[in-house]
Structure 1
Amino acid sequence: MPIGSLGIKVGMTQIFDEKNVSIPVTLIKVGPCTVTQIKTITTDGYNAVQLGFGLSEARSEIKKGLKKSLQKKPLQGHLKKSGLTNCSYLKEYHVNKPEDFVLGQTFDIDSFSTSTVVDIKGKTIGKGFTGTVKKHNFGRGPMSHGSKNHRAPGSIGAGSTPGRVYPGKRMAGRLGGKPITIKNLSILKVDKDENLLLVKGSVPGKLGNLLNIIPCMP
């Protein structure tokens, strides 16, 4: 059972099962991820394994012309211990037995199988500042001539009592661009030639989005 991995969302398509039923799937380009640090209770107070992922290289295969991010010298010194030259993202995974892992160990598509169920974490598509109609599905005002309340939010509270707006009032604001987890997604196919996972259903984000793939415990 793999501890987890990082990947890039390639896109969505559909496959057909033996009954000729269409199944929507998401293509995820996984890893390779390298063990850059091993943390133990003795040294750090908890057991965990840190994985490094070359985000810029993975994205450049999907989006051409993407500039590679420059690494700071402290990060270069940290990655030098594991022999990783390109790394744009570090992620920790809690483990029970850190002694089972070796610095510089690599996790790739071979860590997953078609019988694995995973949770996938990612950032949703950011849609910027939106109004109440788009963000909260509010109803609009009359659209006839003379109306000045087409998509206005309307009243946001009473007058003298309470004399303020209650916290949590649904109003216009930023929509999307937040971390979200889609749970219990089945892996339908593992393409080792293209280093792709075919996961049933949709996952957060748009093309080239960074995803955290965590196997579900049996």
Structure 2
Amino acid sequence: TIVQETRLYDPDADLTRSMRGKEEAHDYRYFPDPDLPPLVISATDLDQLRAQLPELPDARQARFISEYQLSEDDAAQLTSQTEIADYFESVLEQVGGESRLTANWVNGELMSWLNRSDLLITQSPVTPTMLGQLIQRIRDNTVSGKIAKQVFAALWEGEGGGDVDTVIEKKGLIQITDSDAITEAVSKVIQAFPEQAEQVRSGEGKIIGFLVGQVMKATSGKANPQAVNEELKNQLLG
């Protein structure tokens, strides 16, 4: 039988001891207060109150998973704070899609910079509009994902007046998509690394990643990596 009582903790002895017994509920002799009328809350009242509540974290997380096709981990991180979730959805409004790419940037690059700078997301120098514009430039192949990180860093430092295109233009970061320029860069890398090129021809497909990296290095990261990969396969495998 569990004794109804209030116990006192004795820190010196590191134990508890009985302080006083507790009465049963009826022993308290509760009685209505004439100045407090009964409070009746109907189902309709509850529905109206629920409708006035903001979207709760668990519900928002579930919506992010179903609506944006995000992983549970990404959705959990994004909804850990209302401000982070609001930022994410503001970026999506700018981009008009690319929920996973946007989640990667918010959870990854943005949070990394915020943590290093000991800032809240509401204090971020890179606004949702800026990040949305940057993601659009990744989508339209103006910059690669790697170069986009350089643009983000510049925006964080206040360069370009917060305009992504201005930063890209001033720093000369526009991605190389011209087929002739990529063909030439690939040819030079193949000539510079004949052993690795021969390995690719012999069926060692993983080595092609090394050659892609060399082309990216030679072009200061400006070449379109997908185009480089295709051109390497074209020149080495026919």
Place the TM-score, normalised by the shorter chain, in its bin: under 0.3
Query: Where is the strand percentage greater, Structure 1 or Structure 2?
Result: 1
Q: Given the two structures, how large is their TM-score scaled by the length of structure 1?
A: 0.21
From the CA coordinates, give the structure whose radius of gyration is larger: 2
Q: Which has the higher contact order (CA 8 A, sep 6+)?
A: 1
